[in-house]
Every structure is written in structure tokens, then in C-alpha cells.
A and B are shown apart, each in its own frame.
Chain A
Amino acid sequence: MKIIIVNGNSLNWEEEMNIDLILKRKNYTFKMLVVKVDGKLIKKTEYSKTYVQPGADVKVIHLISGG
């Protein structure tokens, strides 16, 4: 089975898997995020058109108000 790594945990890879789908599969509902794929920053405007390959290392950082 093909997988990707999201924040250190494995997730089944799917055909045409973009950032939006990854966030949906992980139930990440926070609006403010920083996403990196294999070390590269993915801007919010590019979530729908950025497709990941099997084995991709995805980091999702939730930004939560408070400071």
C-alpha cells in the first residue's frame, strides 16, 4: 500500500491527492495553517493544485490565536 507521512504519521496515499484532501482526511479544521511538503512551503492559494506523490513528507502546523 502506498503511503505518505503527515506530521510523522502514515496516511494512505490516493490518486490525485492534493493538500486539501490531506487536510480533509486528517480532519484538520483549523483555518490558519502552514504546510510544507518535503521541506517546501506550500502557500494557501496552492493547496488545491499541489499534488503529493507516494512517500511525501508533509508537515502541517496549526496556528492558534493567543499570545
Chain B
Amino acid sequence: MKKSDFFSAHDPRIIPILQNAVIGIAGSGGLGSNIALSLTRAGIGKLVVADFDKIEPSNLNRQQFFEDQIEMPKVIALIENLNKISQFTRYQVHEIKLNPDNIPLIYKDVDIMVEAFDKAEMKEMLIETWLIKFPNKPIIAASGLAGWGKNELLHTRKIDNLYICGDEETDLQSGISPMAPRVAIVANMQANLVLELLLSNK
């Protein structure tokens, strides 16, 4: 496939901006796998993704993996899937658990950071680390996306360079777990915001 064919539906003015962009994704589960898929289709030049987890059967209810990838490291399966879409996004993946020490090293060259963890304490750790280390670089987080329905509650809130996508209220308690449609909606709100920030002055 030729690059000009892949991008033939895009406004030619935005292609170099997308292709020069480096986007960080922290986590490659329900949010991260969907975000990476959309940003690859959008033609982002490079994605930096970290996740230490392996694929389990219960992940297939919402994460962009397949049955024959069970037990594979998520970041390896992710690359396998993304490479089937296009060769015009480069990937740097890290099979590692992120912490306040390795986050600044792994993500030092990204233009925008996208938080895609499952656990609230990891979300808090990443946002706190990011706001201290890279206060001038945008970070797009997700909070409140479990369950189903309630489209009208999903929103984006901007607090300086921190953006929150989700309903900011639905917790995992009482048997409410994340499900494919709502996770994918919020993941794509995050991916959509990446494009908006990259292209806003263009």
C-alpha cells in the first residue's frame, strides 16, 4: 500500500502534522488498545505504549485482542494487530509496569500523553507524575466509564493541561464492570482529543 493511497481521504495539510506527532499511551487494555487502533487509522507517526500485562479471556469483552492471542503480552499482540492496518505508524512498546521513575524516561519525547489504565491508583500516580515532570505537555485521562448506557453523562473536562474524559462518577462497585461500547466511546473521546490538540492551530 502506498502512503498517498492510505492518506488519500485526508486533507493534505494535516498529514505532515499527524505523521510528525509522537503520542504516549500508558496501558494497553480496554482504553489503550482502542486508542492505539484509532490513532493508527488516523495516521499518527509514532505511538509509545507500555503495559506489563498478558491477555486473558476476560479481556476479550472490551479489549481489541482476539482469542488466538490469549496469554500473549498485550503490547506484542497490539503491534501485531496495528501492523495489519498500516505501516505508516511506528511503534515503541515497553513490556513493563510503569512507575514514577520510569514514566519520565519512557515518555520523554511524546507530544501528548494519554492515560489508559484500569486501576484508579495507577491513574492517580501517572497524572501526578506527569503534572510534576511535564507541566507544559497535555495529558488526557479517563475516569468513569464502567457499565452501559448514559451516553449523555460522558464529557470532557479541561483543567489547564489535564483533560478528563468520562462521566467522572460511575464506579466499579456493585457488579458494574467496564463493557465494550462505553470503554470504546471514552477511548475514542481521548483519541479524538489528541487530534483536536494536534490540529487546533491548523
Please give the residue numbers on chain A whose beta carbons come within 8 Å of chain B beta carbons, in ascending order.
Answer: 30-34, 36, 39, 41, 43-44, 59, 61-67
The answer to whether A62 and B160 touch across the interface, beta carbons within 8 angstroms, is: no
The answer to whether B120 and A65 touch across the interface, beta carbons within 8 angstroms, is: yes
* Min C-beta distance of A63 to chain B, whole Å: 4
Q: Which of A30, A36, A44, A61: most chain B CB closer than 10 A?
A: A61
Which chain B residues lie closer than 8 Å to A31 at the CB level?
Answer: 120
The answer to whether B132 and A41 touch across the interface, beta carbons within 8 angstroms, is: yes
Task: List B3-46 residues whose CB lies under 8 Å from chain A.
Answer: 27, 29-32
Which chain B residues lie closer than 8 Å to A59 at the CB level?
Answer: 159
The answer to whether A34 and B29 touch across the interface, beta carbons within 8 angstroms, is: no
| CB closest residue in chain B, given A8 | B157
Using known A-B contacts A33-B124, A34-B124, determine if residue A66 contacts B159 with beta carbons closer than 8 Å.
no
The answer to whether A63 and B118 touch across the interface, beta carbons within 8 angstroms, is: no
* Min C-beta distance of B101 to chain A, whole Å: 16
Please give the residue numbers on chain B whose beta carbons come within 8 Å of chain A beta carbons, in ascending order.
Answer: 27, 29-32, 116-121, 123-124, 127-128, 131-132, 141-146, 157, 159-160, 162, 164, 166, 168-172, 177-178, 183
The answer to whether B128 and A36 touch across the interface, beta carbons within 8 angstroms, is: no
Using known A-B contacts A32-B123, A34-B124, A41-B131, determine if residue A65 contacts B118 with beta carbons closer than 8 Å.
yes
8 further A-B contacts with Cβ under 8 Å, apart from A43-B128, A44-B124, A61-B127, are A32-B123, A61-B143, A61-B159, A61-B168, A63-B120, A63-B127, A64-B143, A65-B118
The answer to whether B27 and A66 touch across the interface, beta carbons within 8 angstroms, is: no
* Min C-beta distance of B50 to chain A, whole Å: 14
Which chain A residues lie closer than 8 Å to B32 at the CB level?
Answer: 67
The answer to whether B121 and A32 touch across the interface, beta carbons within 8 angstroms, is: yes
